[in-house]
Amino acid sequence: MKENKKNTVILFVDDEESVRMALAAMAESLGYHYLIANSSLEAIEVLKSTEVDLVLSDVVMPGMDGLQLLDHIKKNHKNTDVIISTGFFEKASYSEVIKAGAIDFIKKPIDRAELEAKLARAIRERNLVRELERLSMHDALTALLNRRSFDERFPYEVERASRQNYSVILAFIDVDNFKDYNDKYGHQRGDEVLISLGKIMAECTREKVDMCFRLGGDEFGVLLPQASSDQGIEIAHRILQSFAGKNFGKTTLSIGLIACKRDKNLSREEDERLMKERADQAMYDAKNGGKNCVVTRI
């Protein structure tokens, strides 16, 4: 996996101007995009407004030191990694900073070759971790988000919608007569049905806004944040009609659609469980009502 310098943002934090200038010159010569802060507090302000991949911070700084900054980053910026630098070895050992959550340690004065090697390794490891995370959150067959992703995203989206006072629509989708199709034509043809439905769902929803999931087997889900009931119904019918146009034998779709509105009288867990049950029931009502239709419980 190649190191991607162009898309990597590094924040250097040091209270000494000469060190900041030296780090900037080295980063410039190595081709990295970098930012500079002269204190932990300034670094925190930068992190609020900018997505930073790596922070390289001195330990000994007035006010909030580097280990305290590290702790803040681990709690508030989970996608940002930290490398600690210091010339005061009695203040922070390698084992101490790694135990605190840093990914590496570099001694001062910082050598250009050592900095280049440590940044390159950090980026390679970040890219590997991100790829493994991506694979673990996606369905291998359809490339849609998987059940694990749904279990993480659903409560987050419902809570955010409640907090920001907008609507979120949930649709559960089941492929009708899929077992008969599979038995008649074989698993490879059955997989083609599922892959095609995944593509249809992606095409019929808003890119980088809506979320499409394969929940397992021939069961799928769609989350539509900031969508009205009418928009949700329109998208569901679009998926239904597009799938019907593929002519996969007697297979059709049963879709259950609900609006997820937080009930503050219930615990979050109970409320979310009931939402999913309502969507599931709407889907089964569609299936029991003749299939190839959308049932809404808005």
Query: Is 199 within the bounds of a domain?
Result: yes
Whether residue 97 is found in the same domain as residue 176:
no
Kind and range of the H or E run holding 107: strand 104-107
In this structure, is residue 43 part of a structural domain? yes
Residues 252 and 161 in one domain: yes
Tell me the C-alpha distance between 258 and 79, whole Å: 33
Query: Burial of 253 by CB count in 10 Å (0-12 exposed, 13-18 middle, 19+ buried)?
Result: buried
The answer to the question of residue 163 being in a domain is yes
Inside any domain, residue 3: no
Residue 244: CATH number of its domain: 3.30.70.270
Q: At what angle do helices 40-49 and 66-76 cross, to 10 degrees?
A: 20
Domains of the chain: total: 2
What is the chain's pLDDT, residue by residue, as a tens digit (298 residues)?
445 666 789 999 999 999 999 999 999 999 999 999 999 999 999 999 999 999 999 998 999 999 999 999 999 998 899 999 987 655 667 788 888 899 999 998 999 999 999 999 999 998 888 888 888 899 999 999 999 999 999 999 999 999 999 999 999 999 999 999 999 999 999 999 999 999 999 999 999 899 999 999 999 999 999 999 999 999 999 999 999 999 999 999 999 999 999 998 999 999 999 999 999 999 999 999 999 999 999 8
Specify which residues 259 forms β-bridges with. Answer: 169
Pair 214, 114 in one domain: no
Determine the 3-state secondary structure of 211 from DSSP. strand
Among 93, 113, 136, the domain boundary falls at 136
> Domain limits at 19?
9-136
**Catalytic machinery residues:** 218
Within this chain, do residues 266 and 231 fall inside the same structural domain, yes or no?
yes
pTM above 0.75, yes or no: no
d(CA 130, CA 136) in angstroms, rounded, equals 10
